[in-house]
Structure formats: structure tokens, C-alpha cells
Amino acid sequence: MLRVIQAIGLTSSPRKELPPAVDDVSFEAQAGRVTALLGAPGAGKTTVLRLMLELQPGRGVAYFRGRPLHRIAHPVREVGVLLGDVPGHPARTVRGHLRMLCAAAGVPARRADEVLETAGLVSLSGERLGTLSRGTDRRLGLACALLADPHALVLDEPALGLPVRERRWLHGTLRAYAARGGTVLCTTADPKEAARTADRVVTLERGRIVADQEAGDFSRTRLRPRVAVRSPHAARLSVLLAKEARAARRSVEVVPEGGNRLCVYGSTCAEVGETAFRHGIVVHQLADEIGDMGPGAGVADLPGAAGDDGEARTGHPQRAAGGPVVPVTGGPVAPAADVPALPAADAPPPPAAEAAEPAADGRGPAPSAAPRHRAGVPDAGGSPAPAPSGPQALAAGESPRPAAPPASRSDRASGDRAELPPPLSVRPLPSPLRPLRYEIRRATGVGTGFLVGAGVLVVSALTAVLLARIGHTPQPRLLAAWPRELPLPPAALGAGLLGALAFGDEFRHPALAADRGTVPRRLGLLAAKLLVASATALVLAVLAVGCNAELLHLLHGPELVEVPADWFALSAAWLGLVIGCACAGVLAAGVFRSTTAGFAAVVAVPLLVVPLVPEAAEGPRAPAAMGAPARVREGAPLRWSPGGERPLEAVLRVITQPVGSALMLSLAVLLCAYLFTTLRSRVR
């Protein structure tokens, strides 16, 4: 069978004097099958996934169809990831979030509507992410993972906290995805859920693999039927059950679980109830359950159940989750294989057969070779598969349900049946407009930018009016609302904040594919962010001056808003200042991975960098620099009109100012730092 995901020797970095959270973990997840990574909280499941996705440092390597993730040009098309809650701004709409991800992945925007219908979220497409329930959030997370039609799904606790109906829908979707030839790797802490969902179960304990089994073997060896008993006389009942087991020479195990609760293996409710009745013992609870025998239980004789050192690990046959076993057996312990079969509507399927041929697109086995799965979930041909039977367990509160007739499209999307979105038949080629479309949708998808812009215009207008009333303010500073006491005008500060949000908001709410870090450091993405931030700053600068001039004209007359003689140079200096602050915010937030750090870098330019820059405007180099355009025009072989050097003079005037020089120096340093971190992340 095609090995789609291979984890080899994954080991997390040591934690001071503590052992690593994950130590030498190796396993495989094959195409057309669901692989469950099982372990108690703290066993290292999430760390394994983060190491596979190269989201945290460590040793070892994970191959996705023979290539590590950093060698894949478009990771989002290779693996769909869901770690924790859906990463996104809480004010963004469901449909807007998916359309933004479509632009990031380079897939058509209509794909968002297809996955919305698959997840049953069409009626909630206008809801904000922050208002979604837990079940809806899980549906949206799976929709995001399926958006680019990846070859594999990597999901961390996808069913955690979900009600029964949502769990059934999730399991059905994963089974349908695997039946189409995809690979599913998910984590869970519930052994019964792993037995219901997976074709293969890899068990982790304290960061190491203790078992790697087929689902059928896992169910037979780890999950056993038991009788749950709750009685105020639990200790006495335990002794009586032991006495009767020895007398009848039956294999019975009694496990005290603390307080007044017992778990009895190898008996029935009728037998335990009759024993309690004969001896006058009050029973508050008597129920059949499925018991968890603990990690690695009974896997010593199973093929492939070898430990990390190559030797088979032996789990204690009497180990249970509740506590120590009371030795009350009257004979040899019955093997787990002798446990009677329990009916289960959500039981895992039998192990899949070896795939004869890979699919045409290289994804894995062809649909005809995909494993059959549980009742009610369509197989590759679209018809429901028969319900399997075996020793698998049902979760508490779930009852066996027969196979239902084919449901409608809406029922399949909202219930436990699943219908996947159609595959992407055409992979669009990389386009320079792809990151630009993503950045535009990211910036316009929430109201933060519009609120910041409106606030900047209000503050700028009020500051201009206050300066006009005070007087003694030059006209250029009055129109820019820039008092000498402030390091920067409100428009420049607002542009810097919007630029910092371009990266900082993204690091807080990751939106792109899993790459080396939460956000891939790609130069195309940086260029798109700089372009959008510069355009936004340009609009903000023009609106700020226009609003200030209009308000001053209404309140103080036209004498304060007359056009100065050197309006071109002043305009160039003003636009350069605002756009430069926006670009500095983008670069600083990308380097320091924080909105706060990006905005602090903008404020630091006039406060910290300007004192370090020589007073260029007062030094002897300023007049020489301002006369450079005339000397260039005289020495140039081609002549231009007398006013042709005005743009060059405006640029030189901006550069020779202290703030302009400091801003240019800061932009150069930040750009070099960004390029350095980009190259380092690619080489690592």
C-alpha cells in the first residue's frame, strides 16, 4: 500500500532536566485509511503533529508522499491541517474566511461555497467566527482543511467536546475522505472513539509508542466488556464475587475504581445482581460497559506491536483505568480474544486490503481499492456499505442504529452522512496576483482597518483645529495636524498601525497553510502586503489633508489653506512619510511577529533613530544634495525641460530631512532583517 505519511524518529527538544515530550516516534499512515494517534492528555499527541508539520524544533523527519514539508512548494495542497480551534479573526465571517483561504491557496473562490455546502454551513455563512458554537467550529475547521483538496488530513482532537450527532458527522466525513483515496491522521484520547473511527491505532504513552495495531486487534486486546457496579457496600460485594468465582472456577476480575464503584470483568449484570440480592447488598448502579485495558494491553503477541527498541511490549492483561486489580479469579484469565462480540453500529471496518494500483492523480489507491467503511457512510461508488460486526465498542449513550436509506444532500451535510466537495480537477498555476488577492481579502474582511482609518481622520481634524486656535504653527504642519510636541502626525501613526496589523494580526490568527512557522515567509506575500499597506497609507494621507483643509476653511477662512509655492516638494515629503511609516510597520511586524512590536518600531523612528542620524538638513551636505539635480541636468547627454528635475529635488528633500533619513535607515535595516530570517527559515 502506498505510504503517504511517514514519521521517522520524531523527538522533541529537551525541556531542561525533564525528558523530551516525544521520544523516537515512528509510524506510518497509509492512503485510503484512517490512522488514529491515541494517548491520554499529555502523552505527546499534539507535539508529534507539530513536529511533523515543522511547527516546533526537534529531531526526526516526516515525509508526505516521500517529501518533507519544507520541500513541498504548496503545503496546503498536500496536507490539510486542523490544530485546535479554527484560526481566524473573530470578527471575520465564515464565508469571508474561506474565500480568504481560497486566495491564499490559489484555488477558485467558488471552492468556498462547495465546502460550505459539504459542512452544512450555508445558512451560517454570514456569521462571525467568534459567535460559532463548538460543533460549528469543528465543521468549519474541517471545511478549511478540505479547501485545497489535499492528499492528507492531519487533525488534532477533531471530535473533542462534540455531541453525538456532530461526532457521527465528523466520523462519516473522515471515512468518506479515506474511501476516496485520501489519508487521515487524527489524534484522540478516547480508545472507544479510536476503535469506532480508525483502521489503524497507534498508541502513545509518555511520548513513546507502546502499540501499533489494526483496529480489530486493538478492539480485541484493549477494549473488553465489563459490568459497572456502584454500591455503598462495594468492598463486601467484591469479596463475595471473589468467593463465588473461586467456587465455580470461573475467570472473574474485580477492579475497585475508588469510592463505592467496582468494575467486574468476566461476568454479567445478571450474575452480579443475583450475588448482591442473595446477600442483601444494596446496588445503586448495575450496567454493561466497555472497559479500557490501558495502553499496550495484550499486544505482545500481535504482529507489528514492537516497542521503540524493537522488542515486543507486553501490557498487563489485568490492567484497567480505574485502579489495581483484586485477584479474585478462580482459574486462568480468559484471553481477550474469547470476549463475546458486541454489536456496534459505529464499529471500525476490517483492515483494508492492499491497493493494487494507485489512483490516476497519484493520491493513493483508486476508489475501487479503498477500504469499505461503516454503515450509513457512502463508499467510493456512492452506495452505503454494510454494517460490520465485531468486538468493537460503542460510546456511552450511543445505541446501535441500522443502516438508513440514502439521504438527501442537505441531510448528508448536516447529519452523520457525509458528502465531500468535488475534487479540484485543475490545479491553478502560481500567479503573482494570488498573494495580492489574499491580502486584499484579509484587509477588507474585518472592520479593524476601517475603524482605525476613521479614528485617524477624526483625531487629525481635531488636532488641526486645535493648532489653528493656538496659532504659531506653520501651514504645512497645520495641514498635516503635526504639532512639534508629537513625534509623528496622526496619519503617519495610523498608517504604521495598519501596516503592523497586516502581519501582526496574521500571527495572532494564522490564515495560511502550515509551513515553517505559522505564516510562510515568502517574498511574494511581503510584496503584496507592502503594496496594499502603501495604497492604504496613500489614501489615508490624502483624506487626512483634505479633511483638515476643509474643516479649517469652514472655521477659519481660506487664508489658512492657501496652496504654498513649494506644494510639490511638500506633498512628496508628506506622502513619503506616511507610506514609509506603513512599510516600516509591515516589516517590523513580520520580523518580530507581533503587532505591538511593529507599531513600536514606527514610533521609535523619530524618538530613537533620529537622534542617531546626523542633522542632514543643517550640515554641509544638504545644500550640495539639493543642487544635485541641476548638476545632473547640465552633465546629462539628453536635455529635459527646466521643470523636469522637480521630482528628484522633492525626493532628495525628503531624504535629507532628519525624519526622512531615519525612516530610510530603519526601512533598510528591517528589510535586511526580514530577508535574513526568510533565508534562515528556508535553509534550516
Measured CA to CA, the distance from residue 575 to residue 492 in angstroms comes to 9
We report the CATH number of the domain holding residue 256 as 3.30.70.980
Nearest to 275 by CA among 307, 297, 250: 250
Residues 244, 194 share a domain = no
Bridge partners of residue 58, in order along the sequence: 12
Specify the pLDDT at position 295: 67
We report the CATH number of the domain holding residue 63 as 3.40.50.300
Measured CA to CA, the distance from residue 648 to residue 654 in angstroms comes to 10
Residues 352, 320 share a domain = no
Measured CA to CA, the distance from residue 161 to residue 141 in angstroms comes to 14
Tens digits of per-residue pLDDT, 66-93? 898 888 877 888 888 888 777 778 889 9
Range of the domain at 503: 433-616+657-683
> Regarding predicted confidence, which is higher, 10 or 385?
10
Specify the pLDDT at position 42: 87
Task: Give 500's pLDDT tier (boundaries 50, 70, 90).
Answer: very high
Number of structural domains (the chain) is: 3
In a domain, 208, yes or no: no
Mind giving me the DSSP string for 99-134? HHHHHHHT--THHHHHHHHHTT-GGGTTSBGGG--H
Residues 394, 513 share a domain = no
Residues 227, 167 share a domain = no
Boundary residue ending a domain (363, 380, 414): 414
Task: Give 33's pLDDT tier (boundaries 50, 70, 90).
Answer: very high
Average pLDDT, the chain: 74
214-238 mean pLDDT: 85
**Least confident piece of the model among 177-181, 490-494, 530-534:** 177-181
Boundary residue ending a domain (338, 371, 387): 338
Specify the pLDDT at position 89: 84
Tens digits of per-residue pLDDT, 536-570? 999 999 999 999 999 998 988 888 888 877 788 88
In a domain, 213, yes or no: no
Residues 409, 277 share a domain = no
Residue 196 has pLDDT above 60, yes or no: yes
Residues 405, 288 share a domain = no
Q: Report CA dihedral (285, 291, 292, 293) to the nearest 10 degrees.
A: 120
In a domain, 572, yes or no: yes
Kindly report the pTM of this predicted structure. 0.69
Residues 234, 191 share a domain = no
27-46 mean pLDDT: 91
Nearest to 587 by CA among 571, 601, 573, 607: 601
Specify the pLDDT at position 393: 35
> Would you call 30 helix, strand, or coil by DSSP?
strand
In a domain, 52, yes or no: no
In a domain, 33, yes or no: yes
In a domain, 398, yes or no: yes
| Residues making up the chain, counted from first to last | 684
Specify the pLDDT at position 162: 85
> Regarding predicted confidence, which is higher, 414 or 142?
142
Residues 297, 167 share a domain = no
In a domain, 207, yes or no: no
What sign for the dihedral angle of Cα 192, 197, 201, 206? negative
Residues 325/253, Cβ–Cβ less than 8 Å: yes
Residues 229/272, Cβ–Cβ less than 8 Å: yes
In a domain, 621, yes or no: no
Residue 118 has pLDDT above 90, yes or no: no
Residue 175 backbone class (left: φ over 0; alpha: ψ -120 to 50; beta: rest)? alpha
Measured CA to CA, the distance from residue 26 to residue 9 in angstroms comes to 5
Residues 115, 7 share a domain = yes
Residues 361, 276 share a domain = no
Residues 472, 605 share a domain = yes
Specify the pLDDT at position 664: 85
Residues 299, 365 share a domain = no
- The total of other beta-carbon atoms located within 10 Å of residue 597's CB is 17
Boundary residue ending a domain (338, 366, 391): 338
Specify the pLDDT at position 489: 92
